[in-house]
Chains A and B, each alone.
Chain A
Amino acid sequence: MFDVVHGDGRFVSLRRSSRENERWNVEIGDGATTGMVVDRLAVEWVRAEDGSVSFGQHGLIFTLVALWRGYKGPSMNWLKWLLHPPETEVIDFSGGELPEPDPAAEAEYERMLAEFAAAGAPLDGHPAERIQANPDPYAPLLVDWLERSEHHKHWILQLLAVVPDPPGLTEALLREFGRFELPEHWRWSVGNALHDLNRTDLAPRLLPLATDPRQGMAAQMALIALGRARYAPALEPLIERLDDPELEGHAAEALRKLGDPAALPALEAMAPRSEFGRTARQRAIRALRR
């Protein structure tokens, strides 16, 4: 099943209950039925007249579209999975759970559309495809709006994902990651984006932000980024987070990637409370003993 992390009438951010790291950000269209295809996978959703939305994945038609859009199976397992997908997961939002569009969010959206259009970078239609085809006029505006926006940050971050190396993005993300007044789920997405940049040179600036106690679970992916960067000063802060129920698994993962056997005693003494924490601990101990 899915948890609704965020919903404002235009966008719904979903997280699968079983996977703390995975979020799906879905734009709810105006049509009765709409959907999107990402590579081989598909999601579909239906918005009823009463405003309720039902959401499913792996619908047959969308799977066929995914096939048509170029699935080339590298593995029989994937083909098997694709042709016999797991039971469709459906989430039903009652009208109350999915609020009516927020006038402030709508107004901001309109302002954004107008500003982009004036700069010769229209956002209507299929913006991701437009941006991919001609990213230059979009990049500075998207980076600017990432910080200015109060209501559409997730969408802007998604759009930025199709821009190759947008100027100023790294600095904007670091600033956003340090804005502790912003919701935790947004800062988690920012930490994840910083992780995805895979920039080892950012580690000295990431460490104080990721280990600030106000960060909470938003620190998860940034901790892994510190381990992946093999940033030695992160050793002790990561060990300290093995006791944090929200961060224990990510801290253990980070320590495995950091690769310093000095973490072994702490990992051996660790008492994980989550499945992920236990797996990450076992992997880290084995890797550091090699």
Chain B
Amino acid sequence: MSVDITYSGATVGSERVADEWERIEVAFGPERVERLEDSGLDIGWDDESLTLSMPAGQDKATDKLFGKLADTVAVELGRAFDWDVDDA
């Protein structure tokens, strides 16, 4: 089982999403993203959305780090594309 958080909004093209994710990753810290990936974080995007998916059952430190990443992505994608977290 996993927690999936999807950010979406207007179509901007996957290259722009990739650019923005790269910026977020560098700012957040590639080593911290890698630590989350080692715990199973999956990152995916298309022309109009980006999804973070994290397997359940993580330790508290990983939960906290994932929460920080999720909040950072929400702020940055909101700023860059006016995207928001999907309610569904």
- A and B assemble together: yes
Interchain CB contact under 8 A, A74 and B63: yes
Q: A228 to B1: give the CA distance in the assembly, Å.
A: 23
Q: Does B42 contact A (CB under 8 A)?
A: yes
Q: Which residues of B contact A22 (CB under 8 A)?
A: 2, 53, 55
Give 1 or 0 for each of A41-54: 1 = CB within 8 Å of chain B CB. 10100000000000
Give 1 or 0 for each of A67-109: 1 = CB within 8 Å of chain B CB. 0000011111110110010110000000000000000000000
Chain A residues touching B, majority SS: mixed
Q: Which residues of A contact B44 (CB under 8 A)?
A: 275-276, 279
Task: Tell me the minimal C-beta distance from A161 to chain B in angstroms.
Answer: 10
Q: Which residues of A contact B55 (CB under 8 A)?
A: 22
Residue on B nearest A224 in the bound complex, by CB: B37
Q: Which residues of A contact B71 (CB under 8 A)?
A: 75-77
Binding site for B on A (CB under 8 A): 19, 21-22, 24, 38-41, 43, 57, 72-78, 80-81, 84, 86-87, 198, 228, 257, 275-276, 278-279, 282-283, 286-287
Q: List 13 A-B contacts (CB under 8 A).
A: A22-B2, A38-B57, A41-B3, A74-B63, A74-B67, A77-B71, A77-B74, A86-B88, A228-B38, A275-B44, A275-B46, A278-B14, A286-B18
